[in-house]
Chains A and B, each alone.
Chain A
Amino acid sequence: MARVRNWQLGREMDYPYEENRPARQVCMLFDLNKCIACQSCTMACKTTWTAGKGQETIFWNNVESKPYGFYPLAWDVKVLALLGENAQPWEGNVYKGTTIFEDLGMNQRLKGYLPDEMDYAHPNLGEDECLKILDGEGDYIKGPTHKNWGFFFPRICNHCTFPGCLAACPRKAIYKRQEDGIVLIDQSRCRGYRECVAACPYKKSFYNDTVRISEKCISCYPKVEAGLMTQCTTQCIGKIRLFGFRTTDYDKLTKKQVRENNPFDFLVHVRKLALPIYPQFGTEPNNMYIPPVHVNPDFLSQVFGPGVENSIKQYRNAGKDKELLAALLLFGATERICDTFKLEGNETVGYDPQGKEIIRVPLTEPVYIRQVKNLKTGAFLTNNS
């Protein structure tokens, strides 16, 4: 075991390999306040990559209804239990519990579990439980303002900095690309041991029944290499996602080195609005989420770590915070990967890595007032006359 630096935990941790950060890291940002669970992302991914025989239960992208929806069944509950129930304490920004790579049993390389095949039988079992079907004893959440709460949780592989899948593969058939940090399974070298399926705490490596090997999200690398965002990002109806590259080097994550004009660095490192998913697992996931403001904060802290309160406060204020708004309005605005952005008057402008302008979005939508009637033809143009 080597010691590596995991900035999300605010400390060093054990990992089977030496720290080796890629030159740049693919990163996806999700604004969970906007997801409508339309599953367009799921289908965009499915029809692009995993529609073939043997891939029936493979969802590189899935959207589950939290708190009780899961795919595969109870994945996060089970991994949290492996780390010890209610044993993931934070002291400020420092994680004091153990990760999946620490405190191991004698025959383990890491802590994981292999889901039962029936765990894949229902893509979002439990989705309706937040509507108090669970125990018949009234609302699960009690409180004066929100009786029930729930949110939709789109998930893909996190292309982790310290991937559990990669660490677990006895054949080194999984690798992380130096040029963009995408984590891939070599389809000609995999021998279907499913160690990665058992190891990935996010359960984002899947087994293909027909070819008998594991397959995982490839971050649409043919698109990424062409400077485009992934399918799940560009097809998102709710415009909740932004895909691109974040600065990776831990040492340089000081105020000065962070690129404030890069939307990912800005939202993750400068503003700390977007938070990692289950950082306590220890894989340093590179998908970041803006937590939903209306959800029980205890639950959010369990999922997104200690930064939840700050994030929600900023998000509620986003309407008055022009700089923040400028970054948030890039979401869903273009298919091209945006390297830098700038606030220009009432517009946010996005640039590609060559510095060429690729998108310009107004901070406030222009308002057009339609006539009630077409004066020439007399036809009604609105229905509120």
Chain B
Amino acid sequence: MKKLLISASLLMLPVVTPAFASGGPAKDLSIPIISADNPGHWGGHEYHGSFKRLPPVQLDGGETYVEGVVKSKKIKGEIPMDAVNRTWHEEDPVRETSYNQYNQSWEQAPATVWSDAPATEIQMAPQNLVMPGLVVPTVPVVKVKSVHNDKEIAFLLTWYDATKSETETMEDKFSDAIAIMFPVKDGAEPSFMMGDDENPVNIVYWKAAWERDLEFGYQDVRDAYPNYNYDMYPEVIPAIGQTIDTPIRRYNEGQRQYLTALKLRNISRVDPERLTAVEELNAVGFGTLTRQAQNNSVGHGVRRFGYWSVVIKRPLNTGDVQDAVLKPGSKTMMAIAAWDGFNKNDGAGGNRGPRKNYSNGGWVPLEIE
């Protein structure tokens, strides 16, 4: 109980140097400790205000910031998929107490793969080039880190979102999401507006709802409406013990005809057999986004203190012609889009599709060490 209290009190607080200030050497990001009954000025989980006053993204503690470029650092060994779980203290099941053991300072904590990687803070702009769009950004800044080990490359994306939106199993609910985009052709410079006719782009898209599907099973009507009842669906076969709660994963091909999108394998939307929380797509301009047949990326997101931290990993060379080739020792570029599923726009629902934030200025250079 005591441990839990301590962990609840460890709220991410702003430090003297705003993370938006110019880059350069590692910053001193020591974490002040405050008591549980004095949650402090930021109030912890809820934050409302302009992005200038946003608490700096600092889940990884002391970090090196670079500006205007994403640098993919070369490392040895496995790339960890969990950005938040600091593997350096495996014997301690409650991660947060590790702060105390290291004298309440990230600085003294041993470095990890992700905490050592250089960070780039990318300011986001509201998409309003095609309608419908946003007027003000709903995700004002995303922090990007990247590492690779000559075989695989991974990106860690961290952003603040006061509201957790991880279901789409309700008429008016939308999911938090993030996507990274690369030119498919080596050296090409497609339009940052999702590519153009000559220059396709390759997009990897993560969605909070999929993360939840993976953790608790594909979310269905019962998850949205725990007390609902329905006499019987025509596709359900009571003779073999099925009920209205039989997971659609167990439906045979005949039963799937009652769920047209499932039968058609529209797995961007209905995928009860999902293996990872990301999907790969291609586009040649707005409105052309299309899912790839072959998915080579994996993704995993966690949420703490109002921050999403999402790791997206894929082979440097996937062997899939629809994917961007990312080579060690090369320079290319990437772009980011982010959605706050909760944020309502003029009564037309939360962020989704073109109602999104994109990396301000479009492409960001990506240097792969």
- Interface, chain A (partner B; CB < 8 A): 47, 51-54, 56-57, 104-109, 112-117, 120, 168, 170-172, 187-195, 197-198, 207-213, 215
Contacts and interface: CB of A to CB of B under 8 A. Distances in A.
Contact of A53 (B248, B352, B354): B248
Contact of B353 (A104, A105, A171, A187): A171
A106 B289 CA distance: 24
Contact of A107 (B135, B224, B289): B135
Nearest to B259: A211
Interface stretch (B25-33, B111-119, B343-351): B343-351
Interface in B240-260: 244, 248, 258-260
Given A52-B233, A209-B220, A187 B349 contact: no
Contacts of A109: 131-132
Given A53-B221, A115-B172, 5 more contacts: A108-B131, A116-B171, A170-B287, A211-B259, A213-B266
A54 B266 CA distance: 15
Interface residues of B, number: 46
Interface SS of chain B: helix, strand, loop or mixed?
Answer: loop
Contacts of B220: 53-54, 209-210
Nearest to A78: B347
Interface in B262-305: 262, 264-266, 268-270, 286-287, 289
A195 B221 contact: no
A2 to B, nearest CB: 14
Interface in B99-135: 128, 130-135
Contacts of A114: 171-172, 347-349
Contacts of A54: 220-221, 259
Given A51-B258, A109-B132, A195-B132, A116 B172 contact: yes
B287 A187 contact: no
Contacts of B354: 170
B36 interface: no
A82 to B, nearest CB: 8
A113 B286 CA distance: 23
Contacts of A106: 128, 135
Interface SS of chain A: helix, strand, loop or mixed?
Answer: loop
Sorted nearest first, the 3 A-B pairs with minimum C-beta distance are A52-B258, A109-B131, A114-B349
Contacts, number: 135
Given A51-B234, A210-B259, A117 B352 contact: no
Contact of B270 (A113, A170, A194, A212): A212
A117 B248 contact: no
Contacts of A212: 168-169, 261, 269-270
A210 B222 CA distance: 10
A297 B220 CA distance: 46
Given A52-B234, A170-B353, A209-B220, A108 B259 contact: no
B269 A213 contact: yes
B173 interface: yes
A191 B170 contact: no
Nearest to A117: B171
B204 to A, nearest CB: 15
A191 B268 contact: yes
A211 B171 contact: no
Contacts of A187: 260-261, 264, 266
7 contacts: A54-B221, A171-B353, A191-B353, A207-B171, A209-B169, A212-B270, A213-B269
Contact of B260 (A105, A197, A211): A211
Interface in B125-173: 128, 130-135, 168-173
Contacts of A113: 347-348
B189 interface: no
B184 to A, nearest CB: 20
B366 to A, nearest CB: 26
Given A53-B248, A53-B258, A172-B287, A211 B270 contact: yes
Contacts of B171: 57, 114-117, 120, 194, 197, 207, 209
B269 A192 contact: yes
A53 B233 contact: yes
B172 A117 contact: yes
Contacts of B82: none
B134 A107 contact: yes
A209 B233 CA distance: 14
Interface string B325-369: 000000000000000000001111100111000000000000000
A227 to B, nearest CB: 24
Contacts of A188: 261, 264-266
A300 B230 CA distance: 37
B67 interface: no
A117 B228 CA distance: 14
Contact of B173 (A52, A117, A172): A117
B253 to A, nearest CB: 14
Contacts of B348: 108, 112-114, 195, 198
A154 B261 CA distance: 28
B296 to A, nearest CB: 21
A53 B349 contact: no
Nearest to B352: A193
Contact of A51 (B221, B224, B233, B268): B233
Contacts of B135: 106-107
B196 interface: no
B132 A210 contact: no
Contacts of B132: 107-109, 168, 170, 195
B273 to A, nearest CB: 14
Contact of B261 (A56, A112, A213): A213
B353 A210 contact: no
Given A188-B261, A211-B260, A171 B170 contact: no
A256 to B, nearest CB: 41
Given A170-B287, A194-B352, A198-B348, A209 B224 contact: yes
Nearest to B251: A53
B231 to A, nearest CB: 10
A198 B236 CA distance: 31
A53 B353 contact: no
A312 B310 CA distance: 63
Contacts of B170: 117, 209
Interface string B204-234: 0000000000000000110010001010011
Contacts of A53: 220-221, 233, 235-236, 244, 248, 258-259
Contacts of B266: 187-190, 211, 213
